[in-house]
Structure 1
Amino acid sequence: MDNQNLIDMANRIGDFFDSMPDREEALAGIADHIRRFWEPRMRRALLAALDEPDASGIEMSAIVREALIKHREQLTPAAPATV
């Protein structure tokens, strides 16, 4: 999974919601969009990129970073079931 592409996609989502006048609604909107439309491994990779930023690549926007931190629990996929 290309983390730079994930960050770029998340930043584009953030750009859309950043224009909203209510900051809390914007943060919730970013998190809800990522939770509903991104598969679990994409969310895991994005959260890992939040924890270990790569200085050589695309920087995560402030609003996306804030949304991920604030809504991390709901964005974290459940652990896969083991058989």
Structure 2
Amino acid sequence: MSPDKLRYQANQIATFFASQPEAEQIEGVADHINKFWDPRMRTQLFEIADQSAEGFKPMVVAALEKIRRPELAKGSQ
């Protein structure tokens, strides 16, 4: 998936959760990504965000701490 599309999708999730109570917003973004994004998408999310958080909504950046970072599969290094 292109980095722009992945950023767009993450930001769309943040837009949805922006209507939730503030205390639930970051947890909601992280929970959604943990449940519905496969490990390859989460890996790509971290690859992009580790280089630069530019283009991500602040809620997505804050949620990164709660999103499970996939471990590298054995033999893929």
TM-score using structure 2 length = 0.83
| Deviation at residue 49 of structure 1 after TM alignment | 1.1
Unaligned runs of 5+ in 2: none
Over the residues paired in the alignment, what is the CA RMSD in angstroms?
Answer: 1.8
Unaligned runs of 5+ in 1: none
CA distance in 2, matches of 1:54, 1:13: 16
Alignment: residue pair count: 75
| Deviation at residue 79 of structure 1 after TM alignment | 3.0
Structure 2 equivalent of residue 29 of structure 1: 28
8 Å Cα contact 2:14/2:57 also seen in 1: yes
Q: Percent identity?
A: 36
CA distance in 2, matches of 1:20, 1:49: 26
Structure 1 equivalent of residue 6 of structure 2: 6
| Deviation at residue 44 of structure 1 after TM alignment | 0.6
